[in-house]
Amino acid sequence: MGADRDREGQLPVGQGREACAGTGRRIGVFICHCGSNIAGSVDVRRAAETVRGLRGVACATDYGYMCSDPGQALIRQSIAEQGLDGIVVAACSPSMHEATFRRAAEAAGLNPYRVEIANIREQCSWVHQEDREKATQKAIALIASLVEKVRGDDPLEPLGTPVTRRLLVIGGGIAGMTVALEVADAGYEVILVERGAELGGRLRQIRETYAALTPLAAPLQTLIERVREHPRIRVLLGSEVESASGYVGSFTVTVRPAAGANAPGGYRSEADPAGGTQHEVGAIVVATGYELIPLSRLGEYGGGRVADVVDALEFERLLAQEVPRRPSDGRVPRRVAFVQCAGSRDPEHGVPYCSKVCCLYTAKQALLYRQRVPDGEAVVFVIDVRTGGRRYEEFVQRAMEEGHVLYLRGKVAKVFRQGDQVIVWGVDTLAGRNVEVAADLVVLAAAVVPSAGAAELGRRLRATTDELGFFREAHPKLRPVESLTAGIFLAGAAQAPKDIAETVSQAEAAAAKVLGLFSRPELVQEPTVATVLQELCAGCGLCVSACPYEARSLNARLRVAEVNAALCQGCGACVVACPNKACVVRNWRPEQTLAMVGAVLGEVQ
Amino acid sequence: MAEAFEPRIVAFLCNWCTYAGADLAGTARLQYPPNVRIIRLMCSGALDPAYVLKALLEGADGVFIGGCHPGDCHYQNGNYKARRRVALLKKILEQTGFDPDRVWLRWISASEGRLFAQTMTEMVAAIRAKGPSPLRGRWGT
Ligand SMILES: Cc1cc2nc3c(=O)[nH]c(=O)nc-3n(C[C@H](O)[C@H](O)[C@H](O)COP(=O)(O)OP(=O)(O)OC[C@H]3O[C@@H](n4cnc5c(N)ncnc54)[C@H](O)[C@@H]3O)c2cc1C
Ligand code: SF4
Ligand code: SF4
Ligand code: SF4
Ligand code: FES
């Protein structure tokens, strides 16, 4: 689609280059044999002869392979020579070659929205291979109905909508900061909304990272400073997104102080305290990360019940000291029991999925503990160890061999206090025996779950989350960083449990997507959207509530409905809802469908 | 009647599900009777009851409407709108003495090519058993 084409923002119906030729008086029909795929069960020659007599048809031809180069040349040549103002290609499903034939028509100067496909292969020749006569009759009826549709098609131009080249990032963890820096370094403004008091997310608690025990604190600090000092990044701490409206290229987002900020003795919000501020942005990245399932939901492992049973993030904090000390009495623990999969892979009590990062960080924590407390013992309860990733398996081996970490296969059945120790009972279901460990401290590798309020945020943004609250990608394999809403992208653990390397990769991919969007002069949208016939509209508002996309509103002054073309998806719900037939979707007008009904039942001919 | 009765059925199919399911039936070469004439809509929620009435008045012996399964509508809730409208329409047809079972609404997804072919076979058989629509030929067709 060239930006050089003259574009009419509002597309008055019937005012295009070809409208002068009259409405569908010179239609060409091109019937494809598809080798024997169609011609084998449909008499294409007879079909061509019959449809030649239809109202508005100027010519009808059949040809071996319409999508081939000579087939397309035939179409282009006929359009030019016969001055066609609409065509029907009777061939395979529109999902196969509609775009091909529209391009061919456009190359010959015919508006591509006056090209229709009669599906006589998938929906006729292939399913009626036994009855050539009836298949031929059906093909003729289908072609006749599409001829009627073309007769009512207006020439349309794609809609162009402008892009606001400013990004909103929600969440100031490693994911959000990475996206913000990439996009700001490329020259665009970024607003980074973090509900906590500081940037950094969970990594603030994590001093060293697997698998090489790389120190994290210094690089994280550098990153935070770069974000805070970047001239094009505006950080809003203690802030949350209250609402969002608009669409790709043009969102309006209201940011307000986070619940919990500005409380007496609490941290200060950098958002406008008075009801929130509005920001115009063209794209949004969701990077709200994760949290651990609360200890109170891990009662079977002593969580929230038994002193000196902590979750793994808490243990990262304890490890940050020179020697870790247990919470109850400040004693250095001589034996630490780690329980993996606490709440994970347990659809009944916790979550059904694997939290992915626990096997590796448990090995890391056990190793670090053994370094800090050389005469201490580390025991790990596992169902099995999952170590997909470069050098990950070697790292767990290192914990076992070099760190003398003892791995016990067993599902933990009970955790209870005895004197000043915590007893962990496990069952090795394979070997059929029980194991018991008396520890000074128990660390639960608690399940990774979406951060609080993720599902609610998803609703505000109209970006779907899954049943657990993780943000959903548009396609699990092919579009992994886009949400299901155009212009909203995903990064990091907000989408699923991820480690740092995966989080950063996705954040960079999301930044690339945003930059791709910002590099376009304008966004091009299908013009087959709804319009209002103002002279028929009574301003009743029924269509406004029927629209699932908030694309319609009432103009209070004129007392008629209006359509925001950029939001309209062309679903047609408003058309049916309107009691005055004042709504139409371009090129899907009710008269067209009614005429098609007449055609398939043999009203025309 | 000299000729055997051949039902004429008009099918309104949602672009995103049943229309694609019908394509899949084709790709898999599943055979079904050629009595069905398909008209594509962008969503079952775009079905105006007038389309069904027009088809019946023009002498169609049956009308089929295919949409996405509940919860799967590409436009969030068009299929629920269709379900309400078709239920109402069938009530009205019944009131006027017209057999409402000549109008079928079914959810068939893009991956259910087999279900589409089966449903078409069933519907053609059911309408064949009912005989020609009483409206056939009554309104000048
Ligand atoms: C115990 C433990 C140890 C780990 N060790 C390692 C390791 O050694 N190596 C490794 O690679 N990975 C490790 N991980 C995984 C690592 O923590 C994650 O990969 C990483 O934190 C993901 O970053 P993120 O930015 O996506 O999310 P987060 O770090 O969770 O950041 C999300 C940010 O968004 C903010 N936020 C949330 N909701 C909102 C909202 N609605 N509005 C505004 N802001 C919001 C949060 O306050 C937070 O600042 C470990 C995880 C655990 C639990
Ligand atoms: S246009 Fe479609 S039907 Fe015709 S040859 Fe190409 S693939 Fe076959
Ligand atoms: S066609 Fe659908 S999306 Fe567009 S205005 Fe009508 S109801 Fe809304
Ligand atoms: S439903 Fe029809 S008449 Fe009522 S406001 Fe909408 S367009 Fe106007
Ligand atoms: S898109 Fe299929 S029923 Fe709405």
**Domain boundaries defined on chain B:** 9-51+59-130
First to last CA, chain B: 17
Q: Could you tell me which residues are beta bridge partners of residue A427?
A: A411, A434
Rounded CA gap, A490 and A42, in Å?
A: 49
Q: Could you tell me which residues are beta bridge partners of residue A192?
A: A169, A235
Domain A294-447 in CATH 3.50.50.60? The answer is yes
Helix axes A217-229, A174-185, angle to 10 degrees: 50
pLDDT at A432: 84
pLDDT at A325: 97
Assess contact for A399 and A363: CB atoms under 8 A.
yes
pLDDT at A273: 66
Question: What single letter denotes the amino acid at residue A230?
Answer: H
Count CB-CB contacts under 10 A for residue A388.
Answer: 9
Is the pLDDT confidence value at A7 over 50?
no
Read out DSSP for A267-317? PPP-S-TTT-EEEEESEEEE---EEEPPGGGGGGGTTTTSTTEEEHHHHHH
Q: What is the mean pLDDT of residues A418-447?
A: 93
Nearest to B120 by CA among B9, B6, B4: B9
Nearest to A139 by CA among A6, A37, A58: A37
Which range is least confidently modeled, A8-22, A505-519, A548-562? Answer: A8-22
Nearest to A196 by CA among A276, A256, A269: A269
- What is the CATH architecture of A530-586? 2-Layer Sandwich (3.30)
Q: Sorting pLDDT into bands at 50, 70 and 90, what band is A274? A: low
Pairing of β A214-215 and β A208-209: antiparallel
Interface test with A, best of B9, B19, B23 (most A CBs within 10 A): B23
Which atom of ligand 5 lies at the shortest distance from residue B46's CA?
Answer: 4
Domain A166-289+451-518 shares a fold with domain A294-447: yes
Question: What single letter denotes the amino acid at residue A357?
Answer: V
Is the pLDDT confidence value at A48 over 60?
yes
Question: Is residue A337 reached through a cis peptide bond, with omega within 30 degrees of 0 on the bond before it?
Answer: no
Q: What is the ipTM score, two decimals?
A: 0.96
Nearest to A236 by CA among A227, A249, A226, A244: A227
Assigned CATH for A166-289+451-518: 3.50.50.60
Q: Sorting pLDDT into bands at 50, 70 and 90, what band is A347? A: very high
pLDDT digits (tens, 9 = 90+) for A199-232: 999 999 999 999 899 999 999 999 999 999 999 9
What 3-state class would DSSP assign to B90? helix
Distances in whole angstroms, Cα of residue A52 to Cα of each of A62, A605, B8, B27, B34: 11, 10, 24, 29, 23
Where do we find the tokens 């779907």? A464
pLDDT at B33: 97
pLDDT at B3: 67
pLDDT at A269: 83
User: Around A347, how many Cα atoms within 13 Å sit in the side-chain half-sphere?
Assistant: 2
pLDDT at A329: 96
Rounded CA gap, A45 and A43, in Å?
A: 6
pLDDT digits (tens, 9 = 90+) for A281-310: 999 999 999 999 999 999 999 999 999 999
> Which stretches within A453-577 are classed as H helix?
454-461, 500-518, 542-546, 573-577
Rounded CA gap, A316 and A498, in Å?
A: 17
Q: What is the mean pLDDT of residues A332-361?
A: 96
A265 Rama sector, left if φ>0, alpha if ψ -120 to 50, beta otherwise: left
Domain spans, chain A? 2-152, 166-289+451-518, 294-447, 530-586
Is the pLDDT confidence value at A21 over 70?
no
Q: What is the mean pLDDT of residues A423-429?
A: 90
Stretch (H or E) spanning A145: helix A132-152
Name the percent of chain A lying above pLDDT 70.
95
Where do we find the tokens 């890391």? A364
Name the percent of chain A lying above pLDDT 90.
83
A541 Cβ below 6 A of ligand 4: yes
User: Which ligand sits nearest to residue A267's alpha carbon?
Assistant: 1
Q: What is the mean pLDDT of residues A142-169?
A: 95
pLDDT at A77: 97
Nearest to A371 by CA among A404, A338, A330, A345: A404
pLDDT digits (tens, 9 = 90+) for A105-130: 999 999 999 999 999 999 999 999 99
- Cβ contacts (< 8 Å) between A576 and chain B: which residues? 45-49, 81, 85
> Which stretches within A420-567 are classed as H helix?
454-461, 500-518, 542-546
Token pair recorded at residue A214: 């790389």
Distances in whole angstroms, Cα of residue A424 to Cα of each of A204, A308, A342, A382, A412: 30, 12, 13, 13, 7
Vertex B37 angle, CA B35 and B39, to 5°: 160
Instruction: For the domain made up of A2-152, give the CATH fold.
Output: Rossmann fold (3.40.50)
pLDDT at B138: 62
Which of A122, A130, A571 minimises the CB distance to B42?
Answer: A571
Residues of chain B in Cβ contact (below 8 Å) with chain A: 8, 10, 20, 22-27, 29-35, 37-43, 45-51, 54-55, 58-60, 74-78, 81, 85, 117, 141
Is the pLDDT confidence value at A262 over 90?
no
Is the pLDDT confidence value at A4 over 60?
no
DSSP B132: S
Assess contact for B78 and B46: CB atoms under 8 A.
yes
What 3-state class would DSSP assign to A342? strand
Mean pLDDT (chain A, rounded): 92
On whether any CB of chain B is under 8 Å from the CB of A413, the answer is no
Length of chain B: 141
- Chain-chain contact of B85 with A576 (C-beta, under 8 angstroms): yes
Rounded CA gap, B43 and A498, in Å?
A: 37
Q: Sorting pLDDT into bands at 50, 70 and 90, what band is A25? A: confident
Assigned CATH for B9-51+59-130: 3.40.50
pLDDT at A13: 34
Positions in chain B short of pLDDT 50: 1-2, 140-141
pLDDT at B16: 92
DSSP A489: E
pLDDT at B28: 96
What 3-state class would DSSP assign to A485? coil
A550 Rama sector, left if φ>0, alpha if ψ -120 to 50, beta otherwise: left
Nearest-CA residue for ligand 1 atom 5 is A361
Q: Is the dihedral of CA A381, A387, A391, A397 positive or negative?
A: positive
What 3-state class would DSSP assign to A349? coil
